[in-house]
Chains A and B, each alone.
Chain A
Amino acid sequence: MGVDRNQILTDVAEIILSVSDHIPPGQPIRMETKLVTDLAIESIEVASIFFRLQARYEGTINLADFVTEITDGHTTVTDLRVGAVIEFIAECLERNGSGAARSAPVTTYAHG
């Protein structure tokens, strides 16, 4: 079974909305949405989103690697697209044979 990218999008969107209090209600979050340009997400909020995603997909993804990968080469760095994050997570899940994205509640906290 392939990874359900729509489920990952749902997870990511929920986390983005829970972290940022200034995104207007009804603001769509899609694959092509850009975190800063479209959602005015600040750096500290991006880090919070990364923390949450790292916990959500614990043991499967390393977002520090993802960021390092997209910043390598300097000149091609662009605003962070939601779809790029989702694609990275999906690829990690596929590599780990995780199948469909898990559907655990995204609010679960693990101190570690």
Chain B
Amino acid sequence: MADTQRCVILNIGRCGSTLLSDLIAAEPETLSVQESLMTLMSLRWDASMYDELAGSQYWDIMRTPSLQWQVCVRIGAITGEYRYPATGRWADNLAALPPILAVTLPAISDDPDTLFDFLDARVPHFPVQPLAQHHQMLLDLLASLYGRRRWVERTGASSRMAVWLLKEFPADKVVYLSRNMGDAALSMSRHFDFQLAAIQVELLGWGGFNPYSSRTPSVGAHGPGQRLPAQMRCLLPDQLTREALAEWGGKLSRHELMCAELIRCAEWALAAHRPRHLLRMQYEDLVVKPVEELTRLGEFLGFADPSGWAVGAAGRVSNLRGNSGRPASSGATAAPYAEPTP
């Protein structure tokens, strides 16, 4: 589809962005793409490492499970955003689940395995091009496949890669969704993914390496892990437990710092690479006046009936009312929409 409209929802995480994605999915001309950038977040965004990627190389990135995911499966720290069906092909071996099947494809199709096979046969034949072009081509292909005139991509805490997104990723419109820092940080401190992120920041800070990153050398007897303070060895991928994750990853002060940094990243990227079309949204406003805020969003995205869509969608937002500022669930067992998900 030549005139596919492209939009990215930049967000700090734990600010209602998953709910927003789900609401957008109800708009018939829009493909709501969720967490498709998750895999790319562990890559390093420098130089020209990803300027010339073959389709097969790009697809390998999208389909190869990360060490972080494998550890989460091992310790049973899978968040509520995960959507792969219990009857799926990889249901009995989740550690091997291609990351694009964890959330992205199940959010689009009731038969994500078949959709994966379709992509598996085509994406490796994409031409050699920069990573961002590959990703755009993938989302364009999905929108075309489902006959949608636009796609809206939303990955939790995407502000971490805000500079790359705004500089390299060819979105026509950008929505920036944020939340009061204290509330977002509190919610992050209770969410597995953010707890694991905090642990990686600890390891990087005190050990000078991130063993959960694909670009870190293996941690052997003489590897970088030897630089770690002894009490932090329990954070290494092969030793991490649910208890250590909660204890080390749940420190609110750490999440306040991380959340502040996510906000700084987003604001700096928005100032340095100003999008042609930008809509700022705040979680608190969405909770208090959902119809107005969703109408504003629908108009910005060019929906055919923004107010009609907003009225229909607002009821699902109302469940958030009263939760604003309240401690969040871990994300592991939360009922849908009981708490904003990243």
Give residues in A with beta carbon < 8 Å to B.
18-19, 21-22, 36, 40, 42-52, 54, 63-64, 66-68, 70-71, 74-80, 109, 111-112
Contacts and interface: CB of A to CB of B under 8 A. Distances in A.
Interface string B195-223: 00100111011101110000000000000
The B interface is mostly helix, strand or loop, or mixed, namely helix
B261 A47 contact: yes
B253 A77 contact: no
A42 B260 contact: no
B262 A43 contact: yes
A64 B205 CA distance: 17
B181 A47 contact: no
B249 to A, nearest CB: 12
Contact of A43 (B181, B208, B265): B265
B201 A44 contact: yes
Q: Which 4 A-B pairs have the closest CB atoms?
A: A48-B205, A67-B260, A48-B204, A77-B267
Residue picked from A22, A42, A75, most chain B C-beta under 10 Å: A42
**Chain A interface mostly helix, strand, loop or mixed?**
helix
Given A19-B208, A21-B209, A77-B267, A47 B44 contact: no
Contacts of A76: 271
Given A19-B204, A36-B163, A45-B204, A68 B181 contact: yes
A18 B262 contact: no
A42 B160 CA distance: 8
Contacts of B231: 109, 111
Contacts of A77: 264, 267-268, 270-271
Given A64-B256, A109-B232, A44 B160 contact: yes
A67 B261 contact: yes
Contacts of A43: 160-161, 261-262, 265
A54 B261 CA distance: 14
B258 A67 contact: no
Interface string B72-97: 00000000000000000000000000
B229 interface: yes
Nearest to B203: A48
Contact of B263 (A22, A40, A63, A71): A71
Contact of A74 (B161, B251, B260, B271): B271
30 contacts: A19-B205, A21-B208, A21-B209, A40-B46, A42-B44, A43-B262, A43-B265, A44-B200, A44-B204, A46-B261, A47-B258, A47-B261, A48-B204, A49-B205, A51-B257, A54-B253, A54-B257, A63-B257, A64-B259, A67-B263, A67-B264, A68-B260, A70-B264, A74-B271, A76-B271, A77-B264, A77-B268, A77-B271, A78-B268, A80-B268
A67 B253 CA distance: 14
A109 B263 CA distance: 27
Contacts of B146: none
Given A63-B260, A64-B257, A111-B231, A78 B205 contact: no
A80 B264 contact: yes
